[in-house]
Structure 1
Amino acid sequence: MQTSYLIAEIIVIPLSGWLSKVFSTRWLFAGSALGFTLTSLLCALAWNIQSMIAFRALQGFLGGSMIPMVFTTGFIYFDGKQRVVVAATIGAIASLAPTLGPVVGGWITDISSWPWLFYVNLVPGLFVAIVVPLMVRIDKPDLSLIKGADYLAMLLMAVFLGCLEYTMEEGPRWNWFSDDTILATAWISGLAGVAFIYRSLTGANPIVDLRALKERNFALGCLFSFVTGIGIFATIYLTPLFLGRVRGFSALDIGAAVFSTGIFQICSIPLYAFLARRYDLRWILMVGMAMFVGSMWDFTAITHDWGAHQLLLPQALRGMGQQFCVAPTVTLALGALPPARLKLASGLFNLMRNLGGAIGIAACATVLNDRTNLHFQRLAEHLNGSNEALNHWLVPALDATGKASEQALQQLWNLTYREALTMTFSDAFLLVGLCFAATLLLAPLMHKIAPPSQPSADSH
């Protein structure tokens, strides 16, 4: 279910710029909201796993274009210092939503049944689909673009991103390239990706503006968006998984334990807006990435008895770090681009965050698979007759023949596995922190920008 949604979403995100030119921003956004709402209803009514997978794929395809259009619209409607607040708000929402997802999802599943995870989308979805066409006036549709569109590039991009997402999502489960299907999708993705890049750089009317990567700020902004995607989605993946596997928390308990991240991110929005009006965004970005590194370093001390209290400090740093990373990256990367290039560039920018998330989750899943076995073996090497603590622990469990009971050995195995798994989570958090540390010093290479003055929304 998750893979089908992500494959469809990751394909349509870079297409959103071209689609908004064809259908206009307001009608594409309204159509996407309506499509997402209707497919939410279909998901709630799904009668088996096959129908659910199909409806989730359709939901991802129809709703995926909303994300980059929000960024584009914010930079078209606002200029000057207002962009600081806009970038802070949009960036916070974009990173806060997946953070609060476990909280809302845990609460819904605890008090009701799973179809309500989709029913809750109906009212707000219909509201957005109705209000956006009435209030948003940015551009007009240009259906003539359909005739001259580069459909070969679209096909290559769909194959490239679809196979890449499948490889990233399913690779850890099937031991990567030892599986023939994973190996095949990786090769197909690589070949289609090379062909798509060549086509986009040589074509007259590319559907994705790869040439925007010539701009230093945009290229580095995409890199920071990629790394931020790793941090946001990998930690959202790791923390609930730890609380579920090691602590045995319920969905609602997990949501309550990770809720502090969202609280600190929301509280840091006014602080970011205050600082962004007075200081260079590049230094704020470096502070945000340093806070994320500090958060991951705190996570490396994780033990099997960590709960909401122990998670408070690292999650506070992560919440504030997310705000101080995402918002300045959006402004530095997109703020200096002319309005004519915003639509196509925004799709690529948002794609990088999703790709970072997919690769980050896949890497963490691989670490959990491989390092858990390694840590278990190393711990097991010390569980022998020379270990006095072990002997003392096993004495009450010895039978008449002097052998430990099967129940005691099983309990010992469970304890060893728990500690090995906890040590592996520490390794995964360290890996995420290293990604941020490796890119932190690149922030000063970006140009300090003054957002260009541009026409108001009414003149488009």
Structure 2
Amino acid sequence: MAQDITFDGVQPSPQEARKLEWIGVTPRQLAGFLAMVFGMFMAILDIQIVSASLSEIQAGLSASADEIPWVQTSYLIAEVVMIPLSGLLARALSTRVLFTSAAIGFTAASALCATATTIDQMILYRAIQGFIGGGMIPSVFAVAFSLFPASKRNIVSPMIGLVATLAPTIGPTVGGYLSNTFSWHWLFLVNVGPGIIVAIAVFLLVDFDEPDHSLFRRFDFIGFGAMALFLGSMEYVLEEGPRYDWFDDSTIFTFAILCVLGGLIFFWRAFTAVQPIVELRAFRDRNFAFGSTFSFIMGIGLYGLTYLYPVYLSQVRGYDALMIGETMFVTGVAMFLAAPLAGRLSQMLDPRVMMMIGFLGFALGTYIASGITVDWDFNELLLPQILRGVSLMLCMVPINNLSLGTLPPEQLKNASGLYNLMRNLGGAVGLAVINTVLNNRLDLHLQRLHESVRWGRDVAEDTLLGLSQQLSAQIPDGDLAAMKQLALLVRRQAAVLSFADVFIVLTALFAGMALLAMFMKKPTDGVPAAGH
């Protein structure tokens, strides 16, 4: 039914009124929402923007090989603590104040990162950047499903889904270009101008809700401390575990114990506190519970493959940051082109069927990639990356709609934090599992290949003789160089075989998720918008 619409007390023309009625929001609300979407894009982009440029940062800060991964790890740990907390802060401060403060803090922290002269400073500034920036991500999802009517979710959901998945996907591309063209400082300086614009725009345009400052009087400090200990320790164990052989390392073992203790206290407070830091009642909704599980798996597909392809291109193909970014850009283009298709299909298909198609596309892409060899290049990786990009959009849109689209408005802010947390945790768990499988299978394949190249095997001795003759004509100690060259060839082949094994594991995972999609509750037609 049509309704009277005014904007700042001024009655619009009939043509403008029809446009406003069609989209369901005023131009000011739409502009404020778009500013929030761009702020979320910056926060998610910065998760991966440094991934292809860590060597440049390491050289610039004179950091060790053990220290430099913390440029990314500190951001992730801090962000994963803020994301679930953002629901409470949004209710207490209002979306406008929280997002504006987060945009200002994120921009300031980005500028500080560019001024870092030591690795300790960089780690501290990145932690601040991740913690503050984490407040922007869930707010966008909550507003999208409370501000816009259900009839327009086929437009809004692909938009936020595209941003949430495109940002980390093109992170290595953007980072590689900036560090190669300018310097690593521009990985962070690039946020300053847009960050200021976002902060101003959100402060002036966003006015979606009212603050409830009384929530601070009942703030559960014990629950917050336990949540920070639980999630921060979990993220540390998952990030560092594969590099230090898991619980054989005393530090990893200690943080694992802290994770368990923090988790026990956190869940105790979540069920007993008068006002818990995070309310878990949204998990009573079957679609939200299953949707959060799918969000977790999406994190594996999003962050795991964004990590896996660059590692292969760097270690096996010897690509630099810019070349990796150019190769990975295919997925981003596929996602961008698939977004309108996903929005259209969401009107025509049962979302559960759409999810099945998406996860089967994921499985097909990783199955094709399981045939990887040492010679795979841009052309061979083209189809798996296209399938990944299209599948990400086909999965993200229905998962968003089914998980958040039917929740009551009072649960949206809190549920949005939990939903986004699950995606980040999925990425962390996925990276840990991928690295563990890569390391274990590398050792296994090395052992098997060493048996194939031992003395007495004609193929091995002929290969070694050919390398020795070739290198002896160039350097004095050709025999020793030939032995090293053969060892490198064996190790490279073992690495490729371990990559293939990881792709097989991911194929089984995504195919299983396609079957699990049917366990979600079939959506009803005409579900009202959460905020209308």
1:214 and 2:297 are equivalent in the alignment = no
Q: Which residue of 2 aligns with 1:17?
A: 87
Which residue identity lines up with residue 88 of structure 1 in the other structure? P
Selected match of 1:256 from 312, 320, 326: 326
Superposed, which structure 2 residues align to 1:78-117 within 5 Å? 78-117=148-187
Structure 1, residues 161-207: CA drift from partner, whole Å, max 9, x if none?
01000101111111100011101111111121122112212333222
Selected match of 1:444 from 518, 524, 527: 518
Runs (4 or more) in structure 1 with deviation over 6 Å come to: none
Q: Distance in 2 between matches of 1:448 and 1:371?
A: 41
Task: Give yes or no for contact 1:14–1:208 (8 Å, CA) kept in 2.
Answer: yes
1:61 and 2:119 are equivalent in the alignment = no
Structure 1, residues 410-440: CA drift from partner, whole Å, max 9, x if none?
0000100010011111112222222222222
Q: Which residue of 2 aligns with 1:433?
A: 507
Task: Give yes or no for contact 1:37–1:122 (8 Å, CA) kept in 2.
Answer: yes
Q: SS at the partner of 1:441?
A: helix
Q: Distance in 2 between matches of 1:166 and 1:394?
A: 43
Q: Distance in 2 between matches of 1:126 and 1:429?
A: 41
Q: SS at the partner of 1:81?
A: helix
Task: Give yes or no for contact 2:346–2:397 (8 Å, CA) kept in 1.
Answer: no
Instruction: Compare 384-393 and 329-338 and name the one that shifted more.
Output: 384-393
Task: Give yes or no for contact 2:83–2:420 (8 Å, CA) kept in 1.
Answer: yes
Deviation at 1:5, TM superposition (A): 0.9
1:320 and 2:390 are equivalent in the alignment = yes
Q: Distance in 2 between matches of 1:44 and 1:96?
A: 24
Deviation at 1:15, TM superposition (A): 0.5
Deviation at 1:404, TM superposition (A): 7.9
Query: Please, what TM-score do these two structures have when normalized by structure 1?
Result: 0.96
Task: Give yes or no for contact 1:40–1:122 (8 Å, CA) kept in 2.
Answer: yes
Q: SS at the partner of 2:371?
A: coil
Selected match of 1:191 from 261, 275, 286: 261
Q: Which runs of 5+ in 2 are unaligned?
A: 1-70
Q: SS at the partner of 2:348?
A: coil
Q: Which residue of 1 aligns with 2:305?
A: 235
Selected match of 1:165 from 228, 235, 245: 235
Which residue identity lines up with residue 126 of structure 1 in the other structure? I
Q: SS at the partner of 2:415?
A: helix
Q: Distance in 1 between matches of 2:326 and 2:201?
A: 33
Superposed, which structure 2 residues align to 1:149-160 within 5 Å? 149-160=219-230
Task: Give yes or no for contact 2:83–2:134 (8 Å, CA) kept in 1.
Answer: yes
Q: SS at the partner of 1:14?
A: helix
Which residue identity lines up with residue 21 of structure 1 in the other structure? R
The share of aligned pairs that are identical, in percent, is 46
Superposed, which structure 2 residues align to 1:120-139 within 5 Å? 120-139=190-209
Q: Distance in 1 between matches of 2:330 and 2:244?
A: 34
Deviation at 1:261, TM superposition (A): 0.5
Deviation at 1:84, TM superposition (A): 2.0
Task: Give yes or no for contact 1:40–1:119 (8 Å, CA) kept in 2.
Answer: yes
Structure 1, residues 141-161: CA drift from partner, whole Å, max 9, x if none?
221110012221111111100
Deviation at 1:384, TM superposition (A): 2.8
Q: Which residue of 2 aligns with 1:40?
A: 110
Q: Distance in 2 between matches of 1:75 and 1:86?
A: 9
Which residue identity lines up with residue 353 of structure 2 in the other structure? W
Structure 1, residues 105-125: CA drift from partner, whole Å, max 9, x if none?
111111111001001001111
Q: Distance in 1 between matches of 2:282 and 2:526?
A: 17
1:336 and 2:406 are equivalent in the alignment = yes
Q: Distance in 2 between matches of 1:456 and 1:208?
A: 21
Which residue identity lines up with residue 480 of structure 2 in the other structure? E
Task: Give yes or no for contact 1:71–1:346 (8 Å, CA) kept in 2.
Answer: yes
Selected match of 1:75 from 137, 142, 145: 145
Q: Distance in 2 between matches of 1:362 and 1:192?
A: 20
Instruction: Compare 435-444 and 304-313 and name the one that shifted more.
Output: 435-444
Q: Which residue of 1 aligns with 2:373?
A: 303
Task: Give yes or no for contact 2:106–2:133 (8 Å, CA) kept in 1.
Answer: yes
Distance change (3 Å), C-alpha of 1:227 and 1:391: same
Q: Distance in 1 between matches of 2:530 and 2:414?
A: 19
Q: SS at the partner of 2:208?
A: coil
Q: Distance in 2 between matches of 1:125 and 1:182?
A: 36
Which residue identity lines up with residue 410 of structure 1 in the other structure? K
Q: Which runs of 5+ in 1 are unaligned?
A: none
Q: SS at the partner of 1:15?
A: helix
Superposed, which structure 2 residues align to 1:269-280 within 5 Å? 269-280=339-350
The structure whose RCO (Cα within 8 Å, separation 6+) is larger is 1
Deviation at 1:209, TM superposition (A): 2.1
Deviation at 1:389, TM superposition (A): 2.5
Which residue identity lines up with residue 429 of structure 1 in the other structure? F
Q: Distance in 2 between matches of 1:26 and 1:151?
A: 24
Selected match of 1:142 from 212, 216, 219: 212
Which residue identity lines up with residue 481 of structure 2 in the other structure? Q
Query: Please, what TM-score do these two structures have when normalized by structure 2?
Result: 0.83
Task: Give yes or no for contact 1:12–1:61 (8 Å, CA) kept in 2.
Answer: yes
Q: Which residue of 1 aligns with 2:465?
A: 395
Task: Give yes or no for contact 2:157–2:343 (8 Å, CA) kept in 1.
Answer: no
Q: Which residue of 1 aligns with 2:316?
A: 246
Task: Give yes or no for contact 2:103–2:196 (8 Å, CA) kept in 1.
Answer: yes
Instruction: Compare 426-435 and 171-180 and name the one that shifted more.
Output: 426-435
Q: Distance in 2 between matches of 1:357 and 1:202?
A: 30
Task: Give yes or no for contact 1:33–1:66 (8 Å, CA) kept in 2.
Answer: yes
Q: Distance in 2 between matches of 1:256 and 1:162?
A: 33
Which residue identity lines up with residue 458 of structure 2 in the other structure? E
Task: Give yes or no for contact 2:93–2:211 (8 Å, CA) kept in 1.
Answer: yes
Instruction: Compare 51-60 and 359-368 and name the one that shifted more.
Output: 359-368
RMSD across aligned positions (CA): 1.5
Structure 1, residues 313-354: CA drift from partner, whole Å, max 9, x if none?
000100011001111111100001011100011100100000
1:409 and 2:483 are equivalent in the alignment = yes
Deviation at 1:454, TM superposition (A): 4.2
Task: Give yes or no for contact 2:359–2:511 (8 Å, CA) kept in 1.
Answer: yes
Task: Give yes or no for contact 1:81–1:277 (8 Å, CA) kept in 2.
Answer: no
Q: Distance in 1 between matches of 2:487 and 2:244?
A: 25
Which residue identity lines up with residue 159 of structure 1 in the other structure? L
Deviation at 1:393, TM superposition (A): 2.1
Which residue identity lines up with residue 340 of structure 1 in the other structure? E
Q: Which residue of 1 aligns with 2:245?
A: 175
Distance change (3 Å), C-alpha of 1:455 and 1:380: closer
Task: Give yes or no for contact 1:207–1:344 (8 Å, CA) kept in 2.
Answer: no
Deviation at 1:40, TM superposition (A): 0.3
Instruction: Compare 448-457 and 324-333 and name the one that shifted more.
Output: 448-457
Structure 1, residues 76-102: CA drift from partner, whole Å, max 9, x if none?
111122112211110111011000011
Q: Distance in 2 between matches of 1:191 and 1:439?
A: 31
Q: Distance in 2 between matches of 1:455 and 1:67?
A: 19
Q: Distance in 1 between matches of 2:391 and 2:345?
A: 14
Task: Give yes or no for contact 1:84–1:276 (8 Å, CA) kept in 2.
Answer: yes
Which residue identity lines up with residue 380 of structure 2 in the other structure? Q
